[in-house]
């Protein structure tokens, strides 16, 4: 791949957006490669969790590559947002495996939208985040208007979007935009630590938990009903049998994700 670095270790795939000279800005090719990498990772039984980060010390992803869509029409703009949401951002959020955004620097525009589509966010203490699209006469188009409001509340989301101002990592943590803030050199280790805990649990149950939580955030879906459905499905899994047997026999469960 031309724009991504992929590294697998201890059942964790680390995807690094490798366009440091462009502050890892998202262009169409990068989004296509990211979609392909995610398809493969979700299908690979040897991968239990994913970390997405950016190359270099400055940026996680400093937005979309504006030069690619500067001359787009209304219809082309609609297709750009639709393709991005379907193939990458919604694809991450609804994936069957946990995805952590390791925000190592600036996360702006599409970069923050990508981070928000991940299930957990770990930020470097030096990171800054924002949605500056209104400065270009645009609004976020990769789900940012929806996910930011879900994470920090309607009022804070509207202020961030309408002022186009950045927030610090500490402010992002205080408002619930990120889960953890660590020193820059600790960001990957912290992300790996969290995933290590998650992947020691039942993969079947983790996938069900993602579905149930997402349902409650999706218009037209009854999160409580989906929770009942996913809860009941767990009873038919090999993971449930293993988990209960391990508990009753006072041993460590060994899950296969069956």
- The 8-class DSSP code of residue 254 comes to -
Question: What SS3 string covers 37-87?
Answer: HHHHHHHCCCCCEEEEEECCCCEEEECECHHHHCCCCHHHHHHHHHHHHHH
Measured distance CA(31)–CA(86) in Å, rounded: 11
Question: Which residue matches tokens 């009753």?
Answer: 248
Q: Which residues are catalytic?
A: 113, 133
Q: Which of 221, 131, 119 shows the shortest CA–CA distance to 178?
A: 119
Q: Which of 66, 1, 4, 54 shows the shortest CA–CA distance to 24?
A: 54
Are the C-beta atoms of 110 and 145 separated by less than 8 Å? Answer: no
Query: Which residues lie below 8 Å from residue 197, measured CB to CB, with a gap of 6+?
Result: none
């Amino acid at each position: 791949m031309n724009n991504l670095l992929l590294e697998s270790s201890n059942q964790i795939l680390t995807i690094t957006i490798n366009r440091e000279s462009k502050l890892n800005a998202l262009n169409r090719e990068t989004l296509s490669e990211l979609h392909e990498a995610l398809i493969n990772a979700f299908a690979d039984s040897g991968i239990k969790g994913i970390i997405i980060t950016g190359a270099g010390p400055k940026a996680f992803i400093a937005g979309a590559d504006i030069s690619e869509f500067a001359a787009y029409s209304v219809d082309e703009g609609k297709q750009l947002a639709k393709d991005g949401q379907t193939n990458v951002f919604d694809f991450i959020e609804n994936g069957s495996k946990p995805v952590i955004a390791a925000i190592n620097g600036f996360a702006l525009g599409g970069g923050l939208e990508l981070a928000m589509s991940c299930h957990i966010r770990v930020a470097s203490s030096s990171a800054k985040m924002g949605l500056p699209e209104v400065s270009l006469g645009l609004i976020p188009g990769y789900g940012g208007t929806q996910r930011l409001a879900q994470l920090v509340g309607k009022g804070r989301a509207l202020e961030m979007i309408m002022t186009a101002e950045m927030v610090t990592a500490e402010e992002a943590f205080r408002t619930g935009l990120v889960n953890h803030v660590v020193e820059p050199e600790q960001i990957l280790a912290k992300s790996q630590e969290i995933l290590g805990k998650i992947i020691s649990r039942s993969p079947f149950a983790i996938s069900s938990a993602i579905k149930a939580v997402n349902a409650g955030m999706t218009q037209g879906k009854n999160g409580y009903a989906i929770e009942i459905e996913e809860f009941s499905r767990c009873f038919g899994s090999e993971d449930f049998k293993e988990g209960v047997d391990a508990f009753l026999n006072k041993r460590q469960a060994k899950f296969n994700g069956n």
